[in-house]
Amino acid sequence: MNVLGICITWNRPLLLGRSVHSFLQQTNLDSRLFILDDAGQYRSQEHERWTLVSTSKRYPSMGSKRNALIDMALKQYPEIEGFMLWDDDDVYFPHAMQSVSTALDSKCWAQSRLALEMSKDGKSLRRVETFKRTAKGVNKSICYGGCWAWRMDTFDDLGRFPDTNHSEDIKVAYPCLAKFGDSANSSPDEPWYYYNRLNNSILSEGKNFYAMRGRQNIEFIGDPPIGWNGTDIFNLPIEDGVHRRPW
């Protein structure tokens, strides 16, 4: 299945550059990445497998911004059959889009049951669950919202993202669960999603809540600085075992 990564960004060039770098390592060569920046920070650009559209016109909400991105992307990549959330502050291992593509072949939407996070000493990664464990058992119906994926026709059927600035993915996921049942597990074997939680695993620009809300000074830089900045997590060992969801 042809999968599109959708990435919205606002004044986080170092994180975006790292995220684009992780996309360029993907083994699924049919995948595409589409980025929408409404800070006017970059020049709009088109590459072989990824596109960045930059405008200084602000969108009223993150939900409307994601929907606009999808509309733009489908005009350029009409062959796309499904998409996944590819946020600018996340990093994905090379098998990410292949895993999502396989999951969407089996069901109309997919979630990752495992993620990776940095160990406290910064020398390794550890596997963590993305679903909650409750007193009554394990709740796997809705996992952590990062990196969810939908088939395009299913997403259209659900009415797309609501016009809101937070939880727009959750507000699509619950109707999807009610209508189509449980999601496919897009990480049945090995996690591919790196969750930036600890202070030693994320840049200072990513910890600034206002980075996506338009309350920073913007420096025009033309091109995102693609590459790693800080620890290259692809070179870190992964610890044995699986830990419960820590967030």
pLDDT category at 132 given cuts 50, 70, 90 is confident
Higher pLDDT pick, 97 / 1 = 97
Q: In the prediction, which pLDDT does 210 show?
A: 47
Q: What is the pLDDT of residues 137-148, one digit of tens each?
A: 666 678 876 789
SS (H, E, C) the chain: CCEEEEEEECCCHHHHHHHHHHHHCCCCCCCEEEEEECCCCECCEECCCEEEEECCCCCCCHHHHHHHHHHHHHHHCCCCCEEEECCCCCEECCCHHHHHHHHHHHCCEEECCEEEEECCCCCCEEEEECCEEECCEEECCCCCCCCCEEEHHHHHHHCCCCCCCCCCCHHHHHHHHHHHCCCEECCCCCCCEECCCCHHHCCHHHHCHHHHCCCCCCCCCECCCCCCCCCCHHHCCEEEEEECCCC
Taking the alpha carbons of 18, 20, 23, 25 in that order, is the dihedral positive or negative? negative
pLDDT value of residue 206: 60
Residue 141: the pLDDT is 72
CA distance 178 to 200: 38
Among 28-42, 65-79, 220-234, whose mean pLDDT is lowest? 220-234
Q: Residue 187's pLDDT is what?
A: 94
Backbone torsions φ then ψ of 156, nearest 5 degrees: -60, -40
Measured torsion, CA atoms of residues 172, 173, 176, 178, in degrees rounded to the nearest 10? -120
**pLDDT at residue 126 is higher than 90:** yes
Structural domains of the chain, ranges and CATH numbers in brackets: 3-243 (3.90.550.10)
For residues 64 and 207, which has the higher predicted lDDT (pLDDT)? 64
Characterize the bridge pairing of strands 137-139 and 132-134. antiparallel
CA pair distance 95, 236, nearest whole angstrom: 16
Report whether pLDDT(28) > 90. Answer: yes
Q: Which residue has the higher pLDDT, 216 or 103?
A: 103
Structure tokens belonging to residue 247 = 């967030």
pTM of the model: 0.91
Q: 239: which residues sit within 8 A by CB, 6+ positions away?
A: 119, 124, 125, 126, 127
